[in-house]
Amino acid sequence: MSSPIDAGATPAIAALLQQLREGRQPDAAAQDILRITAGLEAQLRQRDADVAAAIKELESFSYSVSHDLRAPLSTIDGFSRLLEGSSAKGDAERSKHYLQRLRLGVANINELIAALLLVSRLLRAPMAPQAVDMGALAQAAFMELQAAEPGRLAQVDVQAGLTARGDPALLKQLMDHLAGNAWKFSAKKDRALIAVGSQAGAGGETVYFVRDNGAGFDMAHADKLFGIFQRMHVTSDFPGLGAGLAMAQRIVARHGGRIWAEAAVDQGATIYFTLPGM
């Protein structure tokens, strides 16, 4: 994660330059100047990367607003014209139907805007990194999902001692999104099998995962998985906006981590992510 450019670097360098001019410990002063400038260069490179990421995010938002909001707006426009015609004919039943479709279109727009605002807040919210019990977050998320659907048969296994370091509020949202996805996409199974845990990754890093035996998806389309409002399944099969994994990706990115997936159609999916120590 990037940090503000060190405001104290300039006076420190000025003091070291004065030390050089006075001939006091020249080698040590020169090494200190090199160390400080190297740190500033690293911060500037990180700031450039953050700016590039922000620009990419704005481009994604612009596409989402222009593309994803156009469909419900077209629906509203079409049904308003039909409502005008049915009202002129005095067809109350058909007019009622068109009004319901108009309300549905407005509700869809409200959901899209709410999702966009939530993603935007995730990018701007200050962070307070600390030790977080990821297992407890997962258990709480699945308890809420099970309470909402008490008739669902689901076996949920959460690894003991699953901890991470990060912002508690953001990591709760992350686990809520991933748990919700696993729960939703395994809904058509007679018995959902869901696992949350971790494994050792390259270089000794901890790789967390959320795995389900649900609908899965074709890995040929995996590049769309974490895009805002990108869906891998039709709404009639699995309702939703397609924003959950986009928000998960942004939370992981804010922690300096990576997120990816492995899946196969009708064989389930596994979402992996890393959360480097902050």
7-49 pLDDT, tens per residue? Answer: 455 666 666 667 667 666 667 767 776 777 777 777 788 777 7
Taking 80 as the threshold, does the pLDDT of residue 56 lie above it? no
Q: Please check whether residues 134 and 152 belong to one and the same domain.
A: yes
Report yes or no on 206 lying in a domain: yes
Taking 80 as the threshold, does the pLDDT of residue 115 lie above it? no
| First vs last C-alpha separation in the chain | 8
Report yes or no on 1 lying in a domain: no
Give the pairing type, strands 259-263 and 130-133.
unpaired
Taking 50 as the threshold, does the pLDDT of residue 234 lie above it? no
Say what the pLDDT of residue 194 is: 94
Report yes or no on 20 lying in a domain: yes
Say what the pLDDT of residue 271 is: 92
Strand residues in the chain grouped as ranges (E): 130-133, 154-158, 163-166, 192-200, 206-212, 259-263, 269-274
Say what the pLDDT of residue 73 is: 78
Q: Which residue has the tokens 């509700």?
A: 107
User: In a 3-state reduction of DSSP, which class is residue 157?
Assistant: strand
- pLDDT above 90 coverage of the chain, percent: 23
Q: Please check whether residues 185 and 267 belong to one and the same domain.
A: yes
Report yes or no on 217 lying in a domain: yes
Q: Could you tell me the residue range of the domain that residue 120 belongs to?
A: 69-124
Q: Please check whether residues 100 and 115 belong to one and the same domain.
A: yes
Q: Which of 78-92, 136-150, 173-187, 237-251 has the lowest mean pLDDT?
A: 237-251
Number of domains making up the chain? 3
Q: How confident is the model at residue 238 (pLDDT cuts 50, 70, 90)?
A: very low
d(CA 232, CA 235): 9
Residue 208 structure tokens: 């967390």
